[in-house]
Amino acid sequence: MKILRVSLFFFIFLAPFAFVTVQAFTGTYGINYGRIANNLPSPDEVVTLLKAAKIRNVRIYDADQSVLKEFSGTGLEIVVGLPNGNLRDVSADGDHAMNWVQDNVLAYLPDTCIRGIAIGNEVLGGSDQFSGFLLGAVKNVYDAVNKLKLSDVVQITTAHSQAVFANSFPPSSCVFQDNVVQYMKPLLEFFSQIGSPFCLNAYPFLAYMYDPEHIDINYALFLPTEGANDPKTKLHYDNLLDAQIDAAYAALEDAGFKKMEVIVTETGWASHGDENESAATVDNARTYNYNLRKRLAKMKGTPLRPKNVVRAYVFALFNENLKPGPTSERNFGLFKPDGSISYDIGFPGLKSSSADSLLLSLKDNRGCSWCGCYSIILTMATAFLLVFSR
């Protein structure tokens, strides 16, 4: 009778969750929470801001304890990052990888909804300082995740800049750079085996800045335009981001990975820049990010992959005053450091009334995320087994 009761409980309460593969991205819209600044809101204020904006998917570039603790119990889904500087050690030593995963991922699950680990960022296509360590680090981190029975919960990826491509226009002509192929091919083979997507940092802003004479700014901003045609595929493109994504799909197909999905892990537009960055204006930034939201809300694919819904993380949540480089690098934020909006694309700022905060809290408690449900289910299961094992 005890066995029957336990089996009945499993099929009624646990079976629906037993074979669920948790995705690293819910919906189509996410955001990058960079923190290269000394004037940003505290992580708990960031949680309030994200909830008010109804942004669930978040990427950070490390595994900061204060952030992961504050995200606990919020339902926000986060991808943590293994910084480029850690790749050598993690690649060389599986135990090092295991310790990193235990300390920075396992220690926070399931209360903090960690959905993925990004191994490095834009490692390939530039200097080869870390290129030789990327695959080893990816494999060792995945092995650690797998041994900890987290491979159906935490997705392993790495993000690439467009510097990995030899040519991106027309999209169908895109292939990987010769000096990248030796690293990219085995990486893609492994990602294909474990079901990871190809992560692309795609910036129409940078493409336009590089070649304003040949790229219509309306085409880059999702505004009405003649667009562009691909002479090989005969496909028409009405915006530059779709063309950049399809260029990645073409390169993947050329390399033998036609079925691999492309996810945009960074895209955005600077609201302020240097004298030679005339396209970096508040108006252009507002236009790009507003139209990007509308584009993603349509939940449609690209001309080359119409069935693959475009999903993207916007760069970035805040302006970051300590980022090196041109002025534009410090002005990609949808929000200013005080939590107010940089420009209006429909998101509320950080300042909200106590009544608004209470309403958000009630809504969060009403919407049970997988992480929260998982904790509740385990508690229920334990209690049930204790009762019926007597």
Cβ atoms 265, 313 nearer than 8 A = yes
The candidate with the shortest Cα–Cα distance to 302, out of 254, 255, 262, 251, is 262
Q: How far is residue 193's CA from residue 268's CA, in Å, rounded to a whole number?
A: 31
Our measurement of the distance from residue 147's CA atom to the centroid of its chain's CA atoms, rounded to an integer in Å, reads 24
> Is the four-CA dihedral 305, 199, 18, 142 of positive or negative sign?
positive
Cβ atoms 135, 187 nearer than 8 A = yes
Active site residue 266: yes
Q: Which one-letter DSSP state was computed for residue 125?
A: S
The candidate with the shortest Cα–Cα distance to 30, out of 317, 332, 272, 339, is 317
Cβ atoms 296, 311 nearer than 8 A = yes
Residue entry with tokens 């030789």: 132
3-state secondary structure of 45: helix
The DSSP-derived string for 55-78 is: --EEE-SS--HHHHHHTTTS--EE
Using CA atoms, how far residue 127 sits from 130, 179, 350, in Å, is 8, 10, 39
The candidate with the shortest Cα–Cα distance to 59, out of 246, 199, 240, 202, is 199
Active site residue 122: yes
Question: Which one of the listed residues 70, 77, 266, 320 is annotated catalytic?
Answer: 266
- Side-chain-side CA neighbours of 285 within 13 Å: the count stands at 26
Question: Which one of the listed residues 70, 77, 122, 320 is annotated catalytic?
Answer: 122
Q: Catalytic positions, please?
A: 122, 266
